[in-house]
Amino acid sequence: MNKKKKRLLLNRKPGSALVLVLLVVLVSFIIGTGLLALGTQSRVMSSNQVQDMKARSAADAGLEHAVQQINNAVRAGKWSESVVPYAGNEALPYSDSVYSVKTAYNAIDGYTIVSVGTDRNRTRTVNTKLRLKGLFEDAIQCRDNIVLKSGTVVDTIDSTISMDPADCDEKAIIGTSSVEADSVILNMGVVVDGDVVVGVGGDTSTVIKDLGATIDRSYSLSTDVEFPPVSAPSLFGPDTTIGVKNGERTIGPGGDFPANGRFSGIALRQGTTLRVIGDCTLYLTGDVRMGQDSAIILDASKNAKLTIYLDGDWISDNNSSINNETNTPTTFALYGTGPIGQAIDIKAKGEFYGVIYAPDADLTMFSGGDIVGSFVTNNFELKNPARFLYDASLRTVTVYDEGARFVTSRWTEE
């Protein structure tokens, strides 16, 4: 290579390096600008997502506040169709978010609530319909254990139509809130014309001990079961025992014992009878003790109805019974208001019509015939095979029924 060519190559090298440096700088600038834009976009998206979440939380808070206002009125006995909560740009504590609520009510469609949550420039809207829910939505609902003896059949009727399960399209539901193994024991030959449910996230194959039962479906609940607290009404004394030492005595208007009051308990000696005449509501601070062959009879000819709030235990000797001649489950209602571990042992020589709500109590039952109604307890054991008929009409309630409250039945989000 001659000297002239060498000089040309040497002269070209600095210029080439400069071009290369400029290209590197340009590429770095483009990449950096892209990353900056991407980072800015990500921050904007994250900020929008956070604001969306805060707006949705505000909308939920507005909805919950409206439902609480409605149910507070129900519990206080002050509910009317004019209870339609409203809020305009109410601020959430310790937050920049606000919510607005509009509520409408009519006797046909019930409640419709629109709750709008706003956080800065982000808005979320929740549209909700409410329904009135009572305490007795299912045939048997327990916190913990259910034990059904061989040969037990669980079915559904609608007493407003007939007492024949063939005339009712509703399915029976029995279940537990527990997820522990063997919480539901279905012995051989048990038939449930409906579903068996277990607690949220529970494994049905372990929670349900199936020893040869026939059921429709089994599944775990999507939300926790609510057990609303029930308190005894404010009733005056006489704070004495409703006692029957021999023969028969009556309770109700014009009877041996007043129709309404707070008593220390019920004590029926062997072979005695307490006959209910008229509508009676009792708050019992102590125990119910039913001696052998004793009976509580709800006299259908006297329009009998018996509602008991029980702090103590219910103890029944052999062949004692509750004979509800009205053949209507809502006319005998027992509410367990005692502590956790309250014991309720009920026997019925023939058919039993009634509802029992005692989510902290352990219920055992022996029935000589069909059981018609609904039970909500901590534990439940049916001591003998029987036909348990859930009355679907129990799902129809009013704001005046014990434990009634409005709950969400359908919602959409915008």
- Paired residues of 325 in beta bridges: none
pLDDT of residue 414: 81
pLDDT tens, position by position, 197-228: 999 999 999 999 999 999 999 999 999 999 99
Question: Does residue 11 carry a pLDDT above 60?
Answer: no
Together in a domain, 375 and 407: no
Length of the chain: 414
Q: Are 285 and 308 in contact (CB under 8 A)?
A: no
Together in a domain, 181 and 89: no
Question: Does residue 319 carry a pLDDT above 80?
Answer: yes
Together in a domain, 82 and 229: no
Domain assignment of residue 9, yes or no: no
- How far is 258 from 309, CA to CA, in rounded Å? 16
Q: Considering its fold, how many domains does the chain have in total?
A: 2
Q: What is the mean pLDDT of residues 236-265?
A: 97
- Return the DSSP state at 146: E
Together in a domain, 126 and 148: no
Residue 120 CB: number of other CB atoms within 10 A?
13
- How far is 400 from 82, CA to CA, in rounded Å? 16
pLDDT of residue 35: 57
- How far is 172 from 389, CA to CA, in rounded Å? 8
- How far is 22 from 31, CA to CA, in rounded Å? 14
With bands split at pLDDT 50, 70 and 90, how would you rate the model's confidence at 45? Answer: low
Q: Are 242 and 269 in contact (CB under 8 A)?
A: no
Domain assignment of residue 13, yes or no: no
Q: What is the mean pLDDT of the chain?
A: 91
pLDDT of residue 177: 97
pLDDT of residue 4: 55
Q: Are 85 and 73 in contact (CB under 8 A)?
A: no
Q: What is the mean pLDDT of residues 339-355?
A: 94
Domain assignment of residue 1, yes or no: no
Q: Which segment of 27-31, 320-324, 363-367 scores lowest on mean pLDDT?
A: 27-31
Together in a domain, 172 and 89: no
Residue 373 CB: number of other CB atoms within 10 A?
24
Tokens read off for 185? 């024991």
Tokens read off for 51? 């604001």
pLDDT of residue 7: 55
- Judged by DSSP in three states, 329 sits in helix
Together in a domain, 314 and 284: yes
- How far is 238 from 356, CA to CA, in rounded Å? 25
Tokens read off for 252? 């109700």
Together in a domain, 158 and 301: yes
Domain that holds residue 230: 140-395
- How far is 270 from 130, CA to CA, in rounded Å? 50
